[in-house]
Amino acid sequence: MIRAAIAHGSGRKLLLYENPCAVEAAFGPDEVLPVLSRVEAAVENHGLHAVGMVSYEAAAAMDSALPWRDPGPWPLVWFGLFAPRCREVLCPEPEGLTLPVWTPELGPGAYGRAIDRIREFLAAGETYQVNMTYRLRAPFAGDPWSLFCHLFLYQPSPHAVYLETEHWAVCSASPELFFRRVGGSLISRPMKGTAPRGRFREEDALQAAALRESTKERAENVMVVDMVRHDLGRVCLPASVRVPRLWCVERYPTVWQMTSLVWGRTDAGLPQVFQALFPAASITGAPKVRTAQIIQEIEPSARRVYTGALGWVRPGRRAHFNVAIRTVLVDRLRSEAEYGVGGGIVWDSAAPSEWRETLLKARVLGPRPPAFGLVETMRATPWGVPLWPWHRKRLAESAQYFGFRVPWSTLEEECTQHCRGLAHPAVLRLELWPDGRRHWSIRPLPRPVRPYRLVFAEHAVDERDPRVCHKTTVRRHLDAERSRASALGAHDAILVNRQGQVTETTIASILVLFQGQWITPPRSSGLVPGVLRQRLLARAVVREATLTPETLCCAQRVLLVNAVRGAWPAVVVHEGGPGG
């Protein structure tokens, strides 16, 4: 069966095409432009929808100065021509998918030597930037549709494309727009510049700001923008090319990306647009022709669909193509999957950091974090929630970080109604899910316990996981530590991160009186910002400082605080750290 799917609107929506009326494919450079012409004619003259791809090696057909590399039996161009009937579907959760185990074709050493060779070309003035890439490969005999759904749900993208034939499949969750044509308008959105996400709002904002202000990343981005302006100028009407947006920083699940927008007017056909723009400037370098020659010399294998283009063509001179990054190629005959990664190399690029960036771009291949909700546990009275402004602020920040939808007016009305139904103060718990669904529950306030005994948790907290910095439904590990504490005759467990820093307990923030000052662990250690903790920090009653188990055990006093119980004293009855 031959089928294709493209992203549609926002969220999980896809348009699914099946059983094409015809297929157009090119396997040699001389066939590339004629195939693109036939595809456009079929769309405009017969009202068909085309979904397909143009491989990176097709570049030699666009410009005879660009080098040719044989991709083997892989098509240079492939399009399915479908009747305009298609189904709108919600991307399903992948079933029975075993994620591939990937092996890079280059190790850090070989990658570093390639960077050294590129620096020689840079020093000689032959290039200003080279997009160096390599492939990861893995045995894979599973269902490629399930693999695509995994990628798309991990990193939803309006440019996602899925292609499937009897012999191969392509799963693309690319975040980068190559070009969009709507009538006479031609838009390109080059992406160059990457930074990892922070774990919470303040850290995330710092990461975004660092990327936005990075001289290196800005220089690389504007270099690509200049190339795209030049490329659009070859096919757009004179003096029509503009750059409406420069150096925009966009948020994705695992990274920040820097993009810019280039626009122009054109009356050119699809083959001419590809001749002018392909391959994308962001995945070659500057100048394009010489850099493409350097890429061919340095890279160990053909790119095939990776860094090519995937997209669709519809009647009315409408077309939409991505740059084929974050894209898996599945060879169904060899039961093998391939995924390309890379980055732009300039003179001040450092091989270790560039290598880490390529691995960051492969994180989408790993296990998708399980679905979870955000939680607020509040002390409620018949007259409302006393600390509601602080709960609302924390919930809003976490919802913004994870991209949750919050129907604030409905949520606040529900909270008020639950409070009005109370006869006495109680614990009101809210679970908020990504689509805005809410679950409320009420339970009695816990009775005070004196003395309140603490032991150290058995397992260290991974402070690198963003979820530990937000109050969520992911609590199995916390419940297990609290159960263990109970078995040891204690009431709660003190959490410690992988660096040996105290963070919090399973239900409360920790305050200690040390050398005459009240201190609490900083959020950078990996902890939930308890609302009462945040209120005390805002009033300068306490200050943040890194806290070790030794400091905790030597403290003059230990207090626990949370929104439900307020503040209460605690004692440490088992010294040490995780595991002992």
Using DSSP's 3-state secondary structure scheme, residue 139 falls into strand
Read off φ and ψ for residue 443, nearest 5 degrees.
Answer: -145, 160
Query: What is the topology classification, in CATH, of domain 453-574?
Result: D-amino Acid Aminotransferase; Chain A, domain 2 (3.20.10)
Residue 57 bears catalytic tag: no
Domains 374-443 and 453-574 share a fold: no
Helices (H), 326-475: 351-361, 388-402, 408-420
pLDDT in tens, the chain (580 residues): 899 999 998 778 999 999 999 999 999 999 999 999 999 999 999 999 999 999 999 999 999 999 999 999 999 999 999 999 899 999 999 988 999 999 999 999 999 999 999 999 999 999 999 999 999 999 999 999 999 999 999 889 999 999 999 999 999 999 999 999 999 999 999 988 989 999 999 999 999 999 999 999 999 899 889 999 999 999 999 999 999 999 999 998 888 999 999 999 999 999 999 999 999 988 998 899 999 999 999 999 999 999 999 999 999 999 999 999 999 999 999 999 999 999 999 998 999 999 999 998 998 899 987 889 999 999 999 999 999 999 999 999 999 999 999 999 999 999 999 999 999 999 999 999 998 999 999 999 999 998 999 999 999 999 999 999 999 999 999 999 999 999 999 999 999 999 999 999 999 999 999 999 999 999 999 999 999 999 999 999 999 999 999 999 989 999 999 999 999 999 999 644 444 4
CA neighbor of 27 nearest in space, from 154, 167, 123: 167
Residue 192 bears catalytic tag: yes
CATH code of 374-443, in short, is 3.30.470.10
Annotated catalytic residue within 164, 192, 481, 504: 192
Return the domain boundaries, the chain. Answer: 3-365, 374-443, 453-574
Annotated catalytic residue within 176, 299, 338, 354: 176
Element (H, E) at 550: helix 549-554
CATH top class, domain 3-365: alpha beta
Map tokens 């976490």 to a residue.
Answer: 398
DSSP character string of 291-307: HHHHHHHH-SS--TTTT
Give the C-alpha distances (Å, rounded to integers) separating 188 from 173, 242, 244: 18, 11, 11
User: Cβ neighbours of residue 42 under 8 Å, at least 6 residues apart?
Assistant: 22, 24, 48, 50, 81
Q: What is the pTM of this model?
A: 0.83
